[in-house]
């Protein structure tokens, strides 16, 4: 997980591009966007074409659409607009809302096999039908599985991050502020533990605690503690040296007050932006565990176990793997995108 502490590099289409005036100006950009969207739709839905061609067209369409939208939006707004960031944020919002309001949505059946006895099995995805992402071997609707699975992923991810942030953050705050002996020990401990493969730990933990959402959340939370310790400690140390803290001390404020009033508010922002990226990692970890069968089990759907279940048939029915897989990938990508962008905004510039 320690690679997360590398400098965030936002997708290169932003800062490093040599600005070139776009041919055709606004109208050209609009035309590009529309044409690309058409290509994207054709690529996704046009079944008569061979798979390879469709993929290529869809990919070109996606890229062109984002490009065109960015140029168009920047032109209209008068300043550079990061369309990728907004799209990513939009996706996350959509996911969150669907997960929260899943029960109210007109979805197929996600987990109860007895209710799907009359449903067609192994249906291919058809965006306009009642099974937009298709069904599996037992007639369960994939889209419903994905949405309920999103619930699990989000709950586990956010829960684990909460544990990590509060526990790790508290330790980091104290270690960074008070230094002295405690700090060295904490530093060595968290630094050494961070790069050790977390998955191995997780597996060991899961061996002992039976797989349930609660146990997995706790385990993932524990794994993320060293990352937060390191982050908060580094930020606290930098902040503690800055003038406004010294000024507070001069005013004879006690330590606790300084910690709570001066340092904590400034540490919160980097923690929040960092957390997006950590949530992405944790979601991947949970998905991996459930893929291996070591986390939440069927019939409760999670992205991981949906994909695992689809393994046996996905030669003929790729949608079983690629439906949940695409959602997983897009979510992780969106989280990384949003997190990186926020880190650029809020990371203390004292680097």
List contacts with other proteins (CB under 8 A): 2-3, 6-7, 9, 11-13, 16-19, 21, 51-52, 188-189, 191-193, 195-201, 203-210, 280, 284, 287-288, 291-294, 304, 307, 311, 314-315, 318, 321-322, 325, 328-329, 332-333, 336
With respect to other proteins, which residue has the nearer C-beta, 16 or 114? 16
Query: Nearer to other proteins by C-beta: 53 or 260?
Result: 53
Minimum Å distance from CB 96 to other proteins? Answer: 18
**Smallest distance from other proteins to CB 72, Å:** 17
Closest CA to 69 of 31, 20, 40, 23: 31
- Measured from the CB of residue 45, what is the shortest distance to other proteins in angstroms? 19
Least separation in angstroms between CB 193 and other proteins: 7
The distance of closest approach from Cβ of residue 330 to other proteins in the complex, given in angstroms and rounded to an integer, is 8
Q: Residue 338 CB, nearest distance to other proteins (Å)?
A: 12
- C-alpha span between 274 and 102 (Å, rounded): 28
Cis peptide before 299, with omega less than 30 degrees from 0? yes
The burial class, CB within 10 Å (0-12 / 13-18 / 19+), for 118 is exposed
In this structure, what DSSP letter does residue 312 have?
G
| DSSP secondary structure string for all residues of 245-290 | HHHHHHTT--HHHIIIIIIHHHHHHHHHHHHHHHHHHHHHHHHHHH
Q: Give CA angle at 37 (36, 40), nearest 5°.
A: 90
| Minimum gap (Å) between residue 18 Cβ and other proteins | 5
**Cα–Cα dist 326/105, whole Å:** 21
Instruction: Please give the backbone phi and psi of residue 133, each rounded to the nearest 5 degrees, phi first.
Output: -105, 15
Q: Which is nearer to other proteins, 130 or 192 (CB)?
A: 192
Q: What whole-number distance in Å separates Cα of residue 177 and Cα of residue 200?
A: 32
Q: Does residue 148 contact residue 111 with C-beta atoms inside 8 Å?
A: yes
Toward other proteins, which CB reaches closer, 211 or 253?
Answer: 211
Q: Which of 43, 95, 32 is nearest to 66 (CA)?
A: 32
53: helix, strand or coil: helix
Kindly tell me which of 203 and 269 has the beta carbon lying closer to other proteins: 203
Place of tokens 């989000």: 154
- The Cα 328–Cα 207 span in angstroms is 25
- Least distance in angstroms from the C-beta of 221 to other proteins: 15
| CB of 21 or CB of 350, closer to other proteins | 21
Tokens representing 31 are: 């035309």
């Amino acid at each position: 997980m320690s690679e997360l502490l590398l400098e965030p590099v936002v997708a290169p289409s932003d800062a490093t591009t040599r600005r070139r005036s776009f041919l055709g100006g606004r109208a050209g950009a609009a035309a590009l966007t529309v044409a690309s969207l058409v290509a994207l739709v054709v690529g996704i839905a046009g079944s008569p074409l061979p798979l390879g061609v469709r993929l290529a067209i869809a990919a070109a369409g996606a890229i062109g659409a984002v490009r065109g939208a960015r140029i168009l939006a920047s032109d209209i707004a008068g300043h550079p607009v990061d369309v990728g960031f907004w799209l990513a944020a939009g996706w996350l919002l959509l996911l969150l809302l669907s997960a929260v309001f899943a029960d109210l949505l007109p979805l197929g059946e996600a987990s109860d096999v007895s209710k799907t006895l009359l449903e067609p099995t192994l249906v291919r995805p058809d965006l306009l039908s009642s099974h937009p992402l298709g069904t599996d071997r037992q007639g369960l609707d994939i889209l419903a599985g994905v949405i309920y699975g999103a619930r699990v992923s989000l709950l586990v991810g956010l829960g684990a991050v909460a544990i990590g942030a509060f526990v790790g953050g508290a330790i980091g705050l104290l270690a960074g502020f008070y230094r002295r002996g405690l700090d060295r020990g904490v530093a060595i401990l968290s630094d050494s533990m961070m790069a050790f493969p977390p998955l191995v730990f997780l597996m060991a933990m899961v061996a002992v605690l039976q797989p349930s959402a609660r146990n997995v959340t706790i385990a993932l939370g524990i794994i993320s503690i060293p990352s937060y310790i390191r982050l908060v400690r580094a930020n606290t140390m930098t902040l503690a040296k800055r003038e406004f803290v010294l000024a507070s001390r001069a005013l004879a404020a006690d330590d606790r007050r300084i910690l709570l009033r001066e340092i904590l508010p400034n540490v919160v922002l980097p923690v929040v932006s960092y957390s997006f990226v950590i949530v992405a990692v944790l979601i991947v970890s949970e998905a991996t565990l459930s893929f291996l069968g070591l986390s939440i089990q069927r019939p409760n759907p999670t992205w991981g176990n949906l994909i695992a279940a689809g393994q046996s048939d996905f030669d003929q029915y790729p949608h079983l793997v690629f439906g949940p897989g695409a959602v997983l990938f897009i979510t992780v990508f969106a989280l990384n995108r949003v997190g990186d962008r926020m880190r650029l905004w809020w990371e203390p510039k004292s680097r």
